[in-house]
Amino acid sequence: MSKAKNILLINPWIYDFTAYDFWLRPLGLLYIASLLQKYTRFRLHLIDCLSRRHPALEKIIKTKPDGRGPFLKKEVPKPSVLKEVPRKYSRYGIPIELFLHELEEVPFPDLVLLTCTMTYWYPGVQLVVELIRRKFGQVPVVLGGIYATLLPEHARSTSGADVIFQGMGERGFLPLIREIFGDGYSPDIQVETLDEIPWPAFDLIPGQDVLPVLTSRGCLFECSFCASPLLCKKFEQRPPSSVVSEIEYHHRRYRTQNFAFYDDALLLKKENHIVPLLKGVIQRDLSVFFHTPNGLHVREIDSELASLFKKANVQSLFLSQESTDAGVLAKAGSKVSEGDLERAIVHLERAGYRRQEINVYLMVGLLGQTYSSMKESVLHVQRLGAVPRLAYFSPVPGTCEWKDLVKGGYIAQDADPLLHNKLAFMFLMGDISPRDLKLLKELTDEKKGQAAVS
């Protein structure tokens, strides 16, 4: 191995109309970091522009007991393609001055690695690259993540990064390191499965009170609006015992109280996965709470699983129902059947959850979804005593829904990715009117919603 060099990993700001820290952590970057820690001698430094736990921000940021909370934000001018969207547009995350201070603190990097999740958050990448160039000149900049994977050409021509890295980091990142620095800087090994990647390098982030945990990757379904099948070609699950050991390790090392499952399909093949996983957690008597921000497949929730959820302290439950309209469900995918939601709610209630603790995601703005269908879904969930949570549709390039939108003339294939923003789509291109959207929001407002049901 040759002498140690420095790699700076950066999670850029979000540019959006709305953003909230729903247990968000830059997990992809932290996995790459763990690979580098295990297999190379690079010194690593990480700047998370979305961190709400930076020591300089401790006193001004509010956090709920379960770890969620608002990002700092600064309103910025709307890009011209978004000027007709009647909402304020902001940069979410740490102040720029704090970012510049962080750049002063880190050693001169030999490589900068950035990520970007949503395609329409790319202005955050552009700003980071601009500031990096100002400070460090022509240091090589690599951009990975979902945006780079789905829109490599756009990223190549507008981000300012030197290398656009597509796909799963563990497969190609060590070879990329060898390509950039030479054979001596990284071993010629192949990391094939999710479980072969060392556990995420949480030592690089401040505040580990809430951590993500990924037990599987991909999904067996192919819903029309979802990018999961595009991003992960095959569904893979880690051995449950390995996940339990990881949870216990982080809990003991960092005193982490809250873990958020980042899986797209946590409950699939449950007998060999989530069931033994939760039993393992219960057996080790870990005093931790779990959260499910990505939504759970309602069909899989039976009495055993509901009871394991309760015993293992699965605290926040988000169920992915999407709609109660059979026509919408048939078009979007086959993951929910009639009666699944009702059954799941009964099992959860019998296990000890109050119905008001059960959140149900409902899609808003899918092509062909009418206001009355969306309203009926909301009312249906409310009649069941659960809490409807509106999930705004945003067009993701490459999905079936995207292809239909392009074919139908709603959006151009090469449209500015800013137009993939859920609110931009809703206000500028979608079928739902601003008035209907307002009515739906009012309906899901707790007090007004209850009034509407009674």
Question: Where along the sequence are the contacts to ligand SF4 (CB under 6 A)?
Answer: 219, 221-223, 226, 228-229, 264-265, 320, 333, 335
On whether the CB atoms of residues 252 and 208 are closer than 8 A, the answer is no
CA distance 226 to 234: 15
* Cα atoms found within 13 Å of the Cα of residue 423, Cβ hemisphere only: 16
User: Which lies closer to ligand SF4 via its Cβ, residue 90 or residue 316?
Assistant: 316
User: Which lies closer to ligand SF4 via its Cβ, residue 191 or residue 374?
Assistant: 374
Q: What is the DSSP string of 360-387?
A: EEEEE--TT--HHHHHHHHHHHHHTT-E
Least CB distance to ligand SF4 at residue 268 (A): 8
Least CB distance to ligand SF4 at residue 396 (A): 10
Tokens 């996940």 correspond to what residue? 243
Q: Is 128 helix (H, G, I), strand (E, B) or coil?
A: helix
User: Which lies closer to ligand SF4 via its Cβ, residue 46 or residue 267?
Assistant: 267
- Which helix (H) or strand (E) segment is 97 a member of? helix 96-105
Least CB distance to ligand SF4 at residue 317 (A): 16
Least CB distance to ligand SF4 at residue 293 (A): 13
User: Which lies closer to ligand SF4 via its Cβ, residue 221 or residue 427?
Assistant: 221
Tokens 């959140």 correspond to what residue? 359
User: Which lies closer to ligand SF4 via its Cβ, residue 147 or residue 318?
Assistant: 318
On whether the CB atoms of residues 44 and 204 are closer than 8 A, the answer is yes
User: Which lies closer to ligand SF4 via its Cβ, residue 92 or residue 221?
Assistant: 221
b/e map 208-220, b = 16+ CB within 10 Å: bebbbbbbbbbbe
Per-residue tokens: 98: 């704090």
First to last CA, the chain: 70
Tokens 């169920």 correspond to what residue? 319
Q: Is 59 helix (H, G, I), strand (E, B) or coil?
A: coil
Least CB distance to ligand SF4 at residue 263 (A): 9
User: Which lies closer to ligand SF4 via its Cβ, residue 12 or residue 229?
Assistant: 229
Least CB distance to ligand SF4 at residue 162 (A): 32
Least CB distance to ligand SF4 at residue 336 (A): 9
Least CB distance to ligand SF4 at residue 220 (A): 7
User: Which lies closer to ligand SF4 via its Cβ, residue 132 or residue 305?
Assistant: 305
Tell me the three-class secondary structure of 153-197, residue by residue: HHHHHHCCCCEECCCCHHHHHHHHHHHHHCHHHCCCCCCCCHHHC
User: Which lies closer to ligand SF4 via its Cβ, residue 185 or residue 318?
Assistant: 318
User: Which lies closer to ligand SF4 via its Cβ, residue 228 or residue 292?
Assistant: 228
Least CB distance to ligand SF4 at residue 266 (A): 10
Least CB distance to ligand SF4 at residue 294 (A): 7
Count other C-beta atoms under 10 Å from residue 227's C-beta: 18
b/e map 384-421, b = 16+ CB within 10 Å: bebbbbbbbbbbbbebbbbebbbeeebbeeebbbbbbb
On whether the CB atoms of residues 145 and 117 are closer than 8 A, the answer is yes
